[in-house]
Structure formats: C-alpha cells, structure tokens
A and B are shown apart, each in its own frame.
Chain A
Amino acid sequence: MAVIDVSMTDAPRETTVARATQERRAAWALTAPALILMVIVLLAPVIIAGLLSFTNYSLGNSGFDWVGADNYEKLFTRSTYEKMFIATLTYVVTVVPLSVGLGLGAALLINTLGRFREIYKTIYFLPVMATLLAMAIAWEFMLHPSIGMINRTLEATCGTPFEVVPFIANGCADRFPLWLGDKRYAIWVICFIGIWQGFGFNMVLYLAGLTSVHRELYHAAEMDGAKSAWDRFRLVTWPALGPTTVFVVTISCIRAFQVFDTIEAFWPQGGGPNKSTYVMMFAIFEKGIQQNLIGIGSAITMLFLAFVMFLTLIQRWLVERKVHYK
C-alpha cells in the first residue's frame, strides 16, 4: 500500500498510461481482501458441498467413497425426506402469502390513518427486532397446555356464548389442544409464529412503496369511473406496488425457507411430533452436524441453494422486465 501512496504524489508529472497502471494496481489491492474472502467463504463452500453430496464422507474419517447420486436418491425416496419437503413447503406456502397479505393489509389501513399511525407501525415492527429465539420461548409458555395464557383464555370462554363455536365446545367438553405436542397443530403453530414475526417487515416495505404512488393517479382513475375503494386499489395501488411486491415476496420466501430457531427451540430432537415440522434447515443441522452424515447433509444443502437461487433469479428477471409503472 505504501508503494502506491508514495508514487501517487508524483501524479501530475505522470503520463496517462502510467496513471492507468497505478489505478489498476490500486483497484486490485483494494478489492483483493473482498475477492479472497468471497472465494473462501462463499464460493468454496458451495463447491465443497456439491462434491461432498456425492460421497459418504464423515468428519473424523480419513477417507470416503464416491457414492454417485445415492444421497439424492435417498432424498427423493425415503419417507423422512418426504416429510421434510412437506413440512418446508407447507411452511413456505402458508407463511409467504399470509405475511405478505397481512403486511399489505396493515400498510393500507395504517396509510389512511392520520393519528396513531406511528404507534401501530412501531408495535407491528417490534417482532422483527426481537431475538426470535427468546420470543419462541415466550410463545412456548403462552402455548403451554395447562398454564399457558392461550388455553387459559380459551377455558375462560367455556360457559359463555362463545361455546357455539365447535372448536371451543370440543375443548370445553374434553380439553384444549396440546399445540406443540400435537402433530395436527405443530406445523401451524410454527407458521403462525413465522407470520407473527415477519409481517411487520413487509408492512414497512409496503408503507414505503405507498408513498411513491402518485395522488394524480387516483384522480385519473376516479374520472375513468373507478368509484369504489376496491376499484381504486385494483387499478392504481396494486399495479403501482408491483416492484415492492416482487421484492417482498422473494425476501419472504427466502426467509421462510430458512426457518430454524423456533423449531430447534420447541423440539431440540427430531423435528416435532411425527416429524411434522422437520424443515430443511433443521434437517441439514440434524443430519449434517449432529449425526455427521455429511453426504446427505450436503445433498440437502445443494437442493436448498437451488431453491433459493431459483427464487432470486425469478425476482431479478421480474424486476428487469420492469414491473414498474413509473
């Protein structure tokens, strides 16, 4: 670095060619640390995972065998991994539309308010900031079958008119759900917490998107006969929010694929009752790290990367097609 610094002081006397050489050298010196780290920390692991996914490697073993596509075959034939795909897809397909929809809904409601809008915004954003693991434990207490706040509240509705709801009637007659211990509810509880945590983030992005919708567009739409609020939304707001929606959906998908904290906190072993919440991140953790089955873990990693890259590429393609109406 010092060499460059000293020689640069002669800059005015140098020819443009020498100057360009200087600049090139400086540029490479400045990008070198980032380049090296990118290769070691990001690219090398992808290649390593790709290679290991065709082996039966384990940490601590001196050698390994190439097993061809065996690991991938297992992924698509064994029932454990079928459960993994079902859990992951259920989670993504539930959490993404609902957290995006609720985010949009909250943003639209808040945007029309004069007073209190900042308060709602702040409160809805709190879960995004909070350590998810801590909040997962708080939720676990709320969902506790006997002393949890949720079942206590439900029990309080027994003997009131609420009992006409079949769910509450059943709960009062027998008992209310175990939630985390029940394979029918476990994955939905995880989905609920995912939505609870993520919709504030989407709301804030939509609120930012809404500020860029021009007022004149609404007037124009009204003149064209868009009388109802729904028409205004359909014809003006929704198209104008196109770029925001593309982004919000992609980032929600990527985050949803990576769900882990809540599942590990609730069920350190095994991925929930009857493996109903055995999502991909948890599978990588359990197979690859805890059970030292690096081959199969790497195969899941590669599949995971393929999903995430595919999603991001779709997003970039959509953005480049200009969903904008600017």
Chain B
Amino acid sequence: MTRDWWKHLILILGVIIVIAPFYMMVSYSFKSPGEIDRGEGGFFGRQELMVDERCVKLRDPDRDDIAVAAGRFPGHSDSDIRDALLAEAQSDCSMRPVIFNYTKAFTEAPLLRYLLNGVIVTASIFFIQVIVALPAAYALAKLKFWGREAVFSLVLFCLLIPVHAIALPLYIMLAKLGLTNTYAALVVPWTISVFGIFLMRQFFMTVPDDLIDAARMDGMGEFTIVWRVMLPTAVPALLAFAIFSIVAHWNDYFWPRIVVTGNRDLFTPPLGLREFKGDGDGSFFGPMMATATVIVTPLIVAFLLAQKRFIEGITLNGMK
C-alpha cells in the first residue's frame, strides 16, 4: 500500500474524472433550480420546500373559483378570498426539490412510455436475433452441406458492415415501404446479428457430436435438436450475447433518431431525453437530470450486480 501510493494517486485522479459527470447528474436531479444556478447545496441539496411556479400559475383563481370558494370564507371580500386561494395554491404546489424533479420527469414527458418502448425494442431485437442466429449457427457448425463454406464466408464478409454505416440506404428502403415511425423500423435492421451467428457457431463447434447423434437416435429432427439440445448447452454464451445486445440497443441513439420523427409514442429513452432537452428552459435542469438518471440507472445497477457477466458480454467482440 505505502509502496503503491503513487499508483493509487494516479488511479484516484482518474476516478474523479470518470465519476464527475455521474456525480453531477445525480446531484442536479436532487437540487432545486436556485441551488443549481448558484452552485450550492452539496450533493443532496438542502431539500428546502420550493414552490412550483407553473403549478401556482395553473391554479390562478378566476372569478368563478372565487365565487365557489366564497362559501368557505364567509364575510370576506373577493380580494381576500383571492389571496387566501393563492396561498392555498402556494402551499399545495410546494414540495421538496427531489420530488419535484422526479415527478416532473415522469409528468412533463411520457417517460414511462419511453422506458416501456425501450424494453419492447431491446427485447424484440434480442429474441429475433436468437431465433434467426441459433439455427444458422448450428447448421454452420454441425451439419455438412454443399455451400456451407460459401455461407460462412458471407457471414465473415457481413461482419465487416456496421449497421450504423448503412443507415441511409436502410432508411430509404424503410421509407419506400412506408415503415418509418413504426416499431418495425426500430427493430428490423438489427434482426440479423452476423456477430451472433459467428459467436454461436464458434461455441457450437465445441459441443461434442455424440450429443447430437444421441438426440438423432432418439428420433429428434434437426429443428428440435436446435431448440431442445443446443439451446440449453448455449445458455452461458447466450447470456453474454444478451448483455451485449441489450446494452447496445438500450443505449442506441443514432438509429432511433433516424427512423422515428415526431411520433412520441415510439420514442426510446434516449430520444425522449433528447426531446426533453430540446424544449426545456433553464429552470428544467433538475427534471432533465432526473430523466437522465432514470434512463442510465437500470443498466448501471444491473452492471454493479453482475459485473463479471457484463464485462464478459460487452467485451464479447474480443473473442473474435
């Protein structure tokens, strides 16, 4: 420890730089606009009651409200009643900054909907990728057929093409089919994971042939073998692939940005955050950072709980 102090010094400096934006994001999501502006309040802010000006404005009493409330304040003049109602609105609209920020995050924009879309899109992508890739990987690894080498070369060639790079022609194809602004557009380009095929093929190569022969003896067809015999053996590899795929698509911003324009019902979390930023004014830093925190948290928490698996999954590429 004493001998290594300079190493810790360097590494801790790195930690500060790496953590800084996370610290700021979470901290701002706790603070009131005033505290953010003046840069005070430490990490959690002072959590003093604050008044939501927009909420008060919405409850600004008009003539009818005053007439209705007149029964509650007998013998008072209209302006007194008006003041009393305003005071009520003020107290009803005041809350702790942290609650203000997080409720605003969920009410100003349909954040729950965005999160749900994120789950739907990432889950569909992963399941279709597996349904397409697993049989192909099995055929390439364990079946002898004319053309196998050609198919495998095609897989190797397709590994060279990053889907983001061909976004423009894909967008044109989807636009011609009238599919932009649909879930299909968000999912289709990712349905084929050549990397998944390659990875699963390499994995299946290590599965002993005896296992498959035994299954054939039992009268299983090739299709049944894929799902009943190969799938269970592939669970560890699939788990790593799942993490790889889910992290990539939950965080993806480029592709949703291209195919989803304007239709909020289809926004994925990053798109929702982007829109929030676009129409937010200065006082909305808090709720915006709350939104960012909500979007980033699920993966970070999952990562902290299962670090080994996550690191394995994300660095899968390294197995090539």
Contact = CB atoms under 8 A, between A and B. Distances in A.
A42 interface: yes
Contacts of A173: none
A142 interface: yes
Contacts of B257: 264, 285
B169 A52 contact: yes
A128 B314 CA distance: 9
B162 A254 contact: yes
Interface in B157-210: 158-173, 175, 188-189, 191-192, 194, 197
B319 to A, nearest CB: 10
A251 interface: yes
Interface stretch (A84-92, A217-225, A228-236, A300-308): A300-308
A31 B22 contact: no
Contacts of A35: 136, 151, 154
A305 B166 contact: yes
21 contacts: A4-B222, A9-B221, A11-B216, A11-B217, A26-B223, A27-B139, A27-B143, A31-B151, A33-B132, A41-B163, A52-B169, A123-B18, A131-B270, A131-B295, A134-B295, A135-B25, A141-B24, A147-B39, A149-B24, A204-B311, A204-B314
A48 B223 contact: no
B18 A1 contact: no
Nearest to A125: B311
B68 interface: no
Given A24-B145, A130-B299, A133-B253, A112 B7 contact: yes
A316 to B, nearest CB: 9
Instruction: Say what secondary structure dominates the interface of chain A.
Output: helix
For A5, A27, A201, A313, the residue with the greatest tally of chain B CB atoms inside 10 Å of its CB is A27
A127 B19 CA distance: 9
B253 A129 contact: no
Nearest to A311: B160
Interface of A: 1, 4-6, 8-9, 11-12, 20, 23-24, 26-31, 33-35, 37-38, 41-46, 48-49, 52, 59, 106, 109-110, 112-113, 115-116, 118, 120-135, 137-139, 141-142, 147, 149, 152, 196, 200-201, 204-205, 208, 244, 247, 251, 254, 258, 260-261, 264-265, 268, 281, 284-285, 288-289, 294, 297-298, 301, 304-305, 308-309, 312-313
Contacts of A284: 167-168
A123 B19 contact: yes
Given A26-B143, A113-B8, A122-B307, 14 more contacts: A38-B194, A42-B163, A106-B11, A129-B310, A135-B21, A137-B273, A138-B24, A141-B24, A200-B18, A208-B318, A260-B164, A265-B274, A281-B164, A305-B166
Interface stretch (B72-80, B87-95, B102-110, B285-293): B285-293
For B132, B148, B159, the residue with the greatest tally of chain A CB atoms inside 10 Å of its CB is B132
A284 B164 CA distance: 10
Contacts of B148: 27
Contact of B173 (A37, A44, A127): A44
Interface in B245-282: 247, 250-251, 253-254, 257-258, 269-270, 273-274, 277-278
B169 A45 contact: yes
Closest 5 A/B residue pairs (Cβ): A5-B221, A45-B169, A34-B136, A37-B192, A26-B222
B37 A30 contact: no
Interface string B52-87: 000000000000000000000000000000000000
B119 interface: no
A298 B166 CA distance: 9
A8 B314 contact: no
B162 A308 contact: yes
B315 to A, nearest CB: 5
B166 A109 contact: no
